[in-house]
A = this chain, B = another copy of it.
Amino acid sequence: MDVAELGKVPREVLEKVVFRRLGWRRKDVIVFPRFGEDAAVLKLDKKTLVAAMDPITGSEERIGWLSVHVNANDVAVMGAEPRWFSATILLPEDGLSKLDVIMKDIDAACRSLRVSLVTGHTEVASNVSTPIVIGHMLGVPVGRKPVTSSDARPGDVLVMSKSAGIEGTAILASAFREKLAGKIPEDVLARAEKFYEKISIVREALKLAERGLPSAMHDPTEGGVIGGAYELAEASGCSFVLYEERVPVAVETEAVCRALGCDPLKLISSGVLLAAVPRRLLEKCLKTVRGLRVIGEFRERREGNVVVRRGGREEEVKESVRDELWRLLSGLSVSP
């Protein structure tokens, strides 16, 4: 998640070292870990459970808040209602004072989603230098079955909620506060920092899922909206075309990105829901979730992934999109 992506383990290593070592192959595990799969699907007799686990390692600002929401998002994009959260909080030796803020944030985020904190562990550890929160979320599908990120089909419409680069806007506004202060109006910067508040996509994801509307859903993190579209297309064995001019970009995001010289469409985007929707269900989707926007469509794999930039220039996307955050933060000595 967020800045932690700096240290994401390469895909080859995961495939070779991790994904082949999954213990006993239980028959009640419907979705096992694989690249790009953010949650597990489990069977308890006839009941289905969805589980997701992610740490927040890189952001000191709102780690408690983020840990609940990123895990809730991972569960919700599978069409499951987040119910039970577990958290492990690791604090540096002088960090006990930070526990209060972290717990307040976890509590508030859980309440906002009607989720209970059910178990966990809190520890002052000599081998961490800043606080880390590791979250685990369990949820239950709201529709007949879970939604995956691998069932987008050629012809499906690509829709998104809210606006591009929500999480990245908040991170950059905090990390580059001083640099940005001279370049963009103070009230815009203050609002940009508050973009953490918009980070949940549970509401929109569950509204679509309970009506059985999306073929596939995704929570775009690394590589932003373009990276997320690429991951949906890859997982589904098709390709996408995405039109820059159709992608909503908030005033605050626009200002931060212009001042720092980065592309809001390639900026980490927790807070945005991406979905593939069969054309015949599009109207119903747009009525179900306010502010949902059509930004492109899926097509046959051989047609390739294309971003049509404002002005008509076509940009091919042939591999995972490097997040703008990495580039900007690599020039920054302190971690935000």
Contact = CB atoms under 8 A, between A and B. Distances in A.
A21 interface: yes
A114 interface: yes
Interface stretch (A81-89, A208-216, A240-248): A81-89
A26 B83 contact: yes
Q: How many copies of the chain does the oligomer comprise? A: 2
Nearest to A122: B9
Contacts of A125: 4, 7, 55, 57-58, 132
A32 B118 contact: yes
Interface string A118-155: 11111111111110101010101000000000000000
A42 B8 contact: no
A25 interface: yes
Given A86-B136, A128-B132, A119 B33 contact: yes
A262 B49 CA distance: 46
Nearest to A100: B17
Q: How many residues of A sit at the interface, in one of the four size bands?
A: 35 or more
A140 B38 CA distance: 23
A6 B53 contact: no
A123 to B, nearest CB: 5
A39 to B, nearest CB: 6
A100 B121 CA distance: 26
Contacts of A55: 88, 90, 121, 123, 125, 134
Given A116-B29, A127-B57, A23 B106 contact: yes
Contacts of A28: 83
Nearest to A109: B23
A53 B121 contact: yes
24 contacts: A4-B123, A4-B125, A7-B124, A13-B99, A18-B122, A22-B110, A22-B117, A23-B113, A23-B116, A24-B113, A24-B116, A28-B83, A32-B116, A38-B119, A42-B83, A42-B118, A44-B49, A52-B119, A57-B127, A58-B126, A58-B127, A125-B132, A127-B128, A136-B136
Given A9-B122, A49-B138, 15 more contacts: A7-B93, A9-B96, A17-B103, A21-B103, A24-B110, A26-B83, A29-B84, A37-B119, A44-B44, A44-B49, A49-B49, A86-B136, A127-B130, A127-B132, A136-B136
Interface of A: 4, 6-9, 13-14, 17-18, 21-26, 28-29, 32-33, 37-40, 42, 44-45, 47, 49, 51-55, 57-58, 68, 83-88, 90-91, 93, 96, 99-100, 103-104, 106-107, 109-111, 113-130, 132, 134, 136, 138, 140, 335
